[in-house]
Amino acid sequence: MPESLEARALALLARREYSRAELQRKLAPHAGSAEALTQLLDELVRCSKLSDDRYAEMRVNVRGRRYGNARLVQELRQSGVEPEAIAAALAQSEDEHGRCRSVWQKKFATLPDSPAERARQQRFLQYRGFSQEAIRRVLQGLNEDGCHE
C-alpha cells in the first residue's frame, strides 16, 4: 500500500530539518500533482512543521563549526533558503573569526614560518569559506580583540 504524501513528508521531517525547496524536491516524484504538493507544503509551514528559518539556523549551527560565512551562505542558497533567513541565522551564530581560529587551530596550531606555508594555510581557510579579514587576523596571530596572543 503506497504511503500518503503527508506521511512521507512527516517521516522525512522526523529525521531532520529540511528547507521547503529540499522537501519539495524529495516529495515531487511521489506527488499526484504540483498543486497537491504545494498545498501540503503550505500546510506544513502553517503548522510550523516546516520552517526555512529553523532549517537555516540548524545548518549554520552544525556546519558553522567547520565552515565560514561565505560557504554557509552558498550552501543555504543552494537549498533554496531566502536571503532574510540566511542573514538572521548568521547573525545568531558565533563570530566568524572565532570559528576560523578554531578550524585553523585543529589543522595547523602554529603560525606559518614561510610564505609557502602561509599560502597553504590561507588556501585551506579560503576553501572553508572564511572571509579574508578573519583569515588575515588568524594568520597574524591576533585574537578577537585585535591584540597579539
> Burial of 142 by CB count in 10 Å (0-12 exposed, 13-18 middle, 19+ buried)?
middle
Contact 87, 146 (CB under 8 A): no
Model confidence, pTM: 0.83
> What is the pLDDT at residue 93?
85
| Mean pLDDT, residues 145-149 taken together | 50
Helices (H), the chain: 5-15, 20-27, 34-46, 52-63, 69-78, 83-92, 96-107, 115-127, 132-139
In the predicted structure, residue 147 carries a pLDDT above the cut 80 = no
Report CA-CA distances (Å) from 7 to 1, 12, 13, 84.
13, 9, 10, 30
Looking at domain 96-139, its CATH architecture is Orthogonal Bundle (1.10)
Q: What is the CATH number of domain 1-50?
A: 1.10.10
Structure confidence at residue 131 as a pLDDT band (50, 70, 90): very high
